[in-house]
Amino acid sequence: MTHGMGYKRSGTASIASVVIPHLRPAEYKRSRLPRNRRTVNRAYGGVLSGSAVRERIVRAFLVEEQKIVKKVLKIHKAKEKQSSKS
């Protein structure tokens, strides 16, 4: 008796991956499935869904932008203090 085959799921959401077929674990390792069908050609390929990867990229970008804005505001405040002292 064998266990049922589950879908590959995204790491952050419970969304089943449509791109990667659901097979028995041993069938992924054997040559039954070509390598280009076992994974997805992107960052975190086959582990995270495309929307999850996009969300991570956007979040990282916004965090970096937030750091830049904080730095610029700090410099701007320092210039205002220096000009008010003069």
Question: Hey, where are the domains in the chain?
Answer: 7-84
Find out whether 45 and 39 touch, Cβ atoms under 8 Å: yes
pLDDT reported for residue 86: 67
Q: Which residues of 48-59 are buried (b: 16+ CB within 10 A; e: fewer)?
A: bbeebbeeeeee
pLDDT at 9 over 80: no
42 pLDDT more than 70: yes
Higher pLDDT, 19 or 48: 48
pLDDT tops 90 at residue 24:
no
pTM > 0.75: no
For 1-86, where are the alpha helices, taking DSSP H only?
Answer: 25-29, 35-38, 50-85
pLDDT the model gives residue 50: 83
User: For the residues 40-62, what does the mean pLDDT come to?
Assistant: 87
